[in-house]
């Protein structure tokens, strides 16, 4: 089925959400669809009320429809059994919306928010395109692939996990992420333009290990660097209280406290934070990796290493291509971090080379390639 650009209004359903990693790349695809079809397209976003997707849909002026969705955990949990019923309810809700909307195609970014929509779309024989951002596909996308008309992947190494219909597209990155300005950022965050800046990213929900590591190292780090720390919505209060405690006991000198900038997360200002960063310390989630690649930034990746976790596969591909420094939790103590940072930041040429190598994982035409698959 090829969707032609004529007077008929196109209807496209996008599905995914929960975390920012699953939801924000959809924004880039929506922008490309609007750019290509203008007023001849109507886009509907199916997602949950619990994730970030409703807010993003409102920002994009896209009609949002809420569904219920479960989540499969990699360990035994009674909640897994309950969530099977949530997925079934989500399928029924998706069937209702799809029958009402009558879309020409469905695009799912993966995750268990997208799975009920994909299954409902398959029942109704709709065209389905899915996208996998990680090297090792998530369970929801491995299931969704059975129903997909086309499968887009970020990494060439992912092709072996799918039988057919695979296209390497990269991961789409929102245009506004590319629009940061270091000079204006320094003014906004009261940063010293000459002092090296670390950007610590644990994801929108946060990463307790990274937060604890930075706090344990903070008294030494602030002697040499300024830090923008995105600790996540789940960890903000705890992180703020520990920073205050360190100030009170003089573990951190008051003269350096203005070098530390703590936030739950940044949305509109994230591009500016990226632009200011000399080095990024981050988990190895697919979305943040795509943004790091797009901006040619050097990074230390600290992947989550639960059994079978996709972040380890992502990090190792980047390490193999000399596109990032990779350290694992079991080896990463405060002194190790301090020594590693001193070594990395003392060699600006190497830092720039790592950033340039990261760029190989960015395709500026990613969103356009995905839209081509949707309308093909």
Q: Look at residue 80 in the predicted model and tell me its pLDDT.
A: 64
pLDDT at 73 over 80: no
**pLDDT confidence bin for 202, thresholds 50/70/90:** confident
Span 220-229, mean pLDDT? 97
Q: What are phi and psi of 44, to 5 degrees?
A: -120, 135
Whether residue 184 contacts residue 166, with contact meaning beta carbons closer than 8 Å, is answered with: no
Query: For 12-52, what is each residue's pLDDT tens digit?
Result: 999 988 777 789 999 999 999 999 999 999 999 999 998 88
CATH topology of domain 176-361: Rossmann fold (3.40.50)
Span 235-254, mean pLDDT? 91
* 3-class secondary structure, 18: coil
pLDDT at 93 over 60: yes
Query: For 260-270, what is each residue's pLDDT tens digit?
Result: 999 999 988 99
Query: What is the number of other CB atoms lying within 10 angstroms of the CB of residue 18?
Result: 21
Q: Look at residue 4 in the predicted model and tell me its pLDDT.
A: 58
Say whether pTM exceeds 0.85.
yes
Torsion region of 33: left, alpha or beta (phi above 0 gives left; psi -120 to 50 gives alpha): alpha
Q: Look at residue 173 in the predicted model and tell me its pLDDT.
A: 98
Q: Look at residue 199 in the predicted model and tell me its pLDDT.
A: 98
Q: What ranges do the domains of the chain cover?
A: 10-168, 176-361
pLDDT at 255 over 90: no
- How many angstroms from the chain centroid is the CA of residue 229? 17
Span 279-297, mean pLDDT? 97
Whether residue 225 contacts residue 195, with contact meaning beta carbons closer than 8 Å, is answered with: yes
Q: Look at residue 312 in the predicted model and tell me its pLDDT.
A: 95
Distance set, CA 183 to CA 180, 192, 198, 275, 314 (Å): 9, 10, 16, 9, 32
Per DSSP, helices labelled H in the chain are 20-37, 53-59, 78-101, 115-123, 139-144, 182-188, 208-221, 236-248, 270-276, 286-294, 310-320, 334-345, 348-358, 366-375
**pLDDT confidence bin for 82, thresholds 50/70/90:** confident
Span 319-336, mean pLDDT? 97
Question: Edge to edge, what strands does the sheet with 260-263 contain?
Answer: 260-263, 226-230, 197-201, 279-282, 299-301, 325-326
**pLDDT confidence bin for 126, thresholds 50/70/90:** very high
- What the block records as the tokens of 334 is 């405060």
CATH topology match: 10-168 vs 176-361: yes
Of 213, 197, 206, 202, nearest in space to 332 by CA: 213
Higher pLDDT, 250 or 178: 178
Query: What is the number of other CB atoms lying within 10 angstroms of the CB of residue 223?
Result: 12
Q: How much of the chain, in percent, has pLDDT values that exceed 70?
A: 94
Of 96, 115, 123, nearest in space to 18 by CA: 115
Higher pLDDT, 249 or 79: 249
Give DSSP secondary structure letters for 210-262. HHHHHHHHHHHHTTT-EEEEE--TTTHHHHHHHHHHHHHTTSS-GGGGGGEEE
**pLDDT confidence bin for 234, thresholds 50/70/90:** confident
Mean of all residue pLDDT scores within the chain: 92
**pLDDT confidence bin for 84, thresholds 50/70/90:** confident
Q: Look at residue 21 in the predicted model and tell me its pLDDT.
A: 75
Q: Look at residue 163 in the predicted model and tell me its pLDDT.
A: 80
CA–CA gap between residue 112 and residue 90 (Å, rounded)? 10
Q: Look at residue 210 in the predicted model and tell me its pLDDT.
A: 95
Q: Look at residue 144 in the predicted model and tell me its pLDDT.
A: 96
Q: Look at residue 311 in the predicted model and tell me its pLDDT.
A: 94
- Residue 197: exposure state from Cβ atoms within 10 A (0-12, 13-18, ≥19): buried
* 3-class secondary structure, 108: strand
10-168 placed in CATH 3.40.50.2000: yes
Greatest CA separation for the chain: 69
pLDDT at 3 over 70: no
CA–CA gap between residue 221 and residue 202 (Å, rounded)? 18
């Amino acid at each position: 089925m090829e969707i032609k650009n004529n007077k008929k209004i196109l209807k496209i359903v996008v599905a995914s959400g929960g975390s920012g990693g699953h939801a924000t790349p959809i924004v880039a695809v929506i922008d490309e669809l609007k750019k290509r079809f203008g007023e001849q397209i109507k886009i509907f976003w199916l997602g949950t009320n619990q994730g970030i997707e409703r807010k993003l849909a409102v920002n994009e002026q896209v009609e949002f429809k809420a569904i219920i969705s479960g989540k499969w955990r990699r360990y035994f949990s009674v909640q897994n059994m309950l969530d099977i019923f949530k997925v079934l309810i989500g399928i029924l809700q998706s069937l209702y919306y799809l029958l009402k909307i009558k879309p020409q195609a469905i695009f799912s970014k993966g995750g268990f928010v997208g799975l009920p929509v994909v299954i409902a779309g398959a029942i109704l024989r709709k065209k389905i395109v899915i996208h996998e951002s990680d090297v090792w596909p998530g369970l929801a996308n491995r299931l969704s692939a059975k129903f997909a008309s086309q499968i887009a992947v970020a990494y060439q190494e992912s092709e072996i996990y799918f039988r057919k219909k695979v296209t390497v597209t990269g991961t789409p990155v929102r245009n506004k992420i590319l629009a940061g300005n270091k000079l204006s950022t320094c003014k906004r965050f009261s940063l010293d333009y000459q002092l090296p800046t670390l950007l610590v990213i644990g994801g929108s929900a946060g990463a307790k290990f990274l937060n604890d590591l930075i706090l344990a190292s903070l008294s030494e780090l602030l002697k040499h660097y300024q830090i923008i720390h995105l600790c996540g919505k789940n960890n903000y209060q705890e992180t703020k209280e520990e920073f205050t405690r360190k100030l009170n006991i003089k573990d951190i000198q008051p003269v350096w406290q203005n070098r530390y900038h703590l936030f739950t997360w940044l949305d509109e200002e994230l591009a500016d934070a990226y632009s200011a960063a000399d080095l990024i310390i981050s988990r190895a989630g697919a979305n943040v990796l795509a943004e790091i690649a797009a901006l040619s930034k050097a990074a230390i990746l600290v992947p989550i290493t639960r059994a079978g976790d996709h972040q380890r596969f992502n990090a190792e591909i980047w390490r193999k291509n000399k596109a990032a420094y990779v350290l694992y939790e079991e080896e990463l103590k405060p002194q190790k971090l301090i020594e590693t940072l001193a070594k990395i930041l003392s060699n600006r040429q190497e830092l720039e080379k790592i950033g340039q190598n990261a760029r190989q994982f960015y395709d500026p035409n990613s969103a356009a390639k995905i839209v081509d698959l949707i309308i093909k």
